C-alpha cells in the first residue's frame, strides 16, 4: 500500500482553470466525505490553494485505477468535463508522490521558493481531513513525515532566509534602520496597489500611525477610513512630511513630487531623526538627489528588486541541500511503507509458531501431572520466550529486506520456508 497524488499547480494550469477546480474550505469538507464513500474508505486529503489543487490518496489496489477515479471525481464534483483539464494534471505514485508532497511542504514547489505560507496550508488540509475522518494509517504517516522533513529543511538550510517580494524587502530594510517599527508613523502617498500591500506589511510589523495622502482629499479620507489613518490632501503633504518616519510613494504622477528641499525642511523639524523612503512608483515619485541628504534612506523599485533577486539567488543555492533532505525523507518513508507489506506475513509466522508451541506445550504438561501451577506457568513462559527469540531475527531481517528487494518475492520465499499459506 502507498499513495498517489493527482493535481495541477501554477506551472501546469492557468489561474482560470485553478479557480474552476478550487475547493473552498466548506466545499473541501463535503468533498472529502463524498470521496471517502466513493473510494470505499481509502484515505484522502485535498490540498487547494491559489497556486495548486491536489488530491492525495492511499491505495491497496492498482494506483493507475485510483488516479482515474480521482480524475473522475474532480470532473463530477466541479461539473467540468475531464477533457478540459486532463492535459494540465500531473499524476504521481509511490516514491514520486511522496517526494512531491515533501517538496510542496518544504516550499520547493512554490511560486516563491522558501515562502512559509504553504506549510500552513498543507497542515490545514491535513487537519481538515483528520476532522472528517478521511485519513488512514498511510496518509497520516505521510503528512506527519512531510511536516518533519519541512522542519528539517528550515532548520538545516537557509531556504527561507531573505524576503523576495518588493513589499517584504522594503519592510526588512525599514526594520534594519529603525530596529523596531512599533509607534512609527507611515505616510502613504497615492493609492497604488503595491503601496497598499507594503502598508499592510508595515502595519503587521507594528507600525501604527498612518497618514494617507492623495490628490483628492475625498480619496485620502476613503483610504484613511479603510486603514484607520489620517487623511491629508496632496497639496499640503509638505506641511506633514516631518511627521513621517517611513514614506511610501506610489502615485501615477509623471514627475518628482518629493524633492530634496521637502526633506531638508522636514529633517530640520524632526531634529535630523532618520527617514526611510520607499519609492515604488514608475516613473519615480522621489527625486534621486534626496539620497544625498544625511538621515534619509531612499529605495526605489530597482533597488528593492535587486535585493529581492539576491535573496532569490541565495535561496536557489540552498535547493540542492534541501533536495538531499527531501530524498532522505522519501527513502525513510518508503522503507516504512514496505515494512507494512511484511506485517501480515510476520503475524502468520508468529501464529504458526505459537500454534506449534501450544500443541507441544500441552503434550508436555499432560505428561507431567504432578507439576504445581507455578511450575506450569514457568514452563509456559519459557516456551513463549523461546518462540519470541526464534522469531526476532527473521522478523527484523524481513523488514530490512522489504526496502531493498522485490517484497513479494521475499514474502513468497518466507512463506514457503515456514510452510505458510501463499496468497496471489
SS3 372: coil
Q: Where does residue 126 rank: exposed (0-12), middle (13-18), buried (19+ CB within 10 A)?
A: buried
Pairing outcome for strands 296-300 and 230-233: unpaired
The label of the residue with cell 506641511 reads: 239
β-sheet bridge partners, residue 4: 57, 93
CA 278, CA 166: separation in Å to the nearest integer?
Answer: 10
Given the residues 50, 67, 106, 322, the one annotated as active site: 50
C-alpha cell, 29: 469538507
User: CA dist 98 to 116, 267, 318, 338, 340, Å?
Assistant: 20, 57, 21, 13, 16
8 A C-beta contact, residue 245 and residue 174: no
8 A C-beta contact, residue 301 and residue 295: no
C-alpha cell, 406: 522485490
Could you confirm whether 50 is annotated as catalytic? yes
CA atoms within 13 A on the CB side of 76: 10
Which sequence positions are flagged as catalytic? Answer: 50
Amino acid at each position: 500500500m502507498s499513495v498517489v497524488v493527482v493535481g495541477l499547480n501554477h506551472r501546469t494550469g492557468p489561474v482560470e482553470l485553478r479557480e474552476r477546480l478550487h475547493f473552498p474550505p466548506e466545499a473541501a469538507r463535503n468533498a472529502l466525505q463524498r470521496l471517502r464513500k466513493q473510494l470505499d474508505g481509502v484515505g484522502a486529503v485535498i490540498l487547494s490553494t491559489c497556486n495548486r489543487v491536489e488530491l492525495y490518496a492511499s491505495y491497496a489496489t492498482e494506483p493507475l485505477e485510483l488516479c482515474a477515479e480521482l480524475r473522475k471525481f474532480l470532473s463530477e464534483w466541479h461539473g467540468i468535463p475531464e477533457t478540459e483539464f486532463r492535459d494540465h494534471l500531473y499524476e504521481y505514485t509511490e516514491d514520486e508522490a511522496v517526494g512531491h508532497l515533501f517538496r510542496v511542504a518544504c516550499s520547493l514547489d512554490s511560486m516563491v521558493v522558501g515562502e512559509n505560507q504553504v506549510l500552513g496550508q498543507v497542515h490545514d488540509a491535513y487537519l481538515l481531513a483528520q476532522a472528517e475522518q478521511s485519513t488512514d494509517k498511510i496518509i497520516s504517516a505521510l503528512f506527519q513525515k512531510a511536516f518533519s522533513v519541512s522542519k528539517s529543511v528550515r532548520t538545516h538550510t537557509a531556504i527561507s532566509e531573505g524576503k523576495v517580494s518588493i513589499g517584504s524587502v522594503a519592510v526588512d530594510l525599514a526594520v534594519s534602520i529603525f530596529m523596531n517599527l512599533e509607534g512609527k508613523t507611515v505616510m502613504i502617498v497615492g493609492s497604488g496597489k503595491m503601496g497598499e500591500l507594503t502598508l499592510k506589511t508595515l502595519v503587521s510589523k507594528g507600525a501604527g500611525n498612518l497618514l494617507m495622502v492623495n490628490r483628492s482629499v475625498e480619496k485620502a479620507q476613503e483610504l484613511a477610513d479603510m486603514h484607520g489613518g489620517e487623511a491629508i490632501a496632496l497639496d499640503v503633504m509638505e506641511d506633514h512630511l516631518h511627521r513621517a518616519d517611513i514614506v511610501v510613494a506610489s502615485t501615477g504622477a509623471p514627475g518628482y513630487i518629493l524633492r530634496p528641499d521637502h526633506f531638508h525642511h522636514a529633517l530640520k523639524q524632526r531634529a535630523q531623526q532618520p527617514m526611510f523612503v520607499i519609492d515604488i512608483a514608475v516613473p519615480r515619485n522621489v527625486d534621486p538627489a534626496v539620497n544625498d541628504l544625511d538621515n534619509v534612506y531612499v529605495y526605489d523599485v530597482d533597488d528593492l528588486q535587486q535585493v529581492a533577486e539576491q535573496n532569490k539567488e541565495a535561496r536557489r543555492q540552498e535547493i540542492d541541500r534541501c533536495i538531499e533532505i527531501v530524498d532522505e525523507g522519501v527513502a525513510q518513508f518508503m522503507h516504512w511503507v514496505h515494512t507494512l507489506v511484511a506485517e501480515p506475513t510476520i503475524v502468520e509466522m508468529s501464529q504458526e509458531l505459537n500454534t506449534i508451541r501450544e500443541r507441544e506445550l500441552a503434550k508436555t504438561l499432560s505428561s507431567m501431572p504432578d507439576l504445581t501451577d507455578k511450575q506450569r506457568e514457568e514452563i509456559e513462559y519459557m516456551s513463549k520466550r523461546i518462540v519470541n527469540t526464534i522469531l526476532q531475527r527473521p522478523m527484523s531481517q524481513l523488514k530490512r529486506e522489504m526496502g531493498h528487494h522485490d517484497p513479494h518475492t521475499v514474502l513468497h520465499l518466507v512463506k514457503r520456508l515456514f510452510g505458510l499459506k501463499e496468497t496471489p
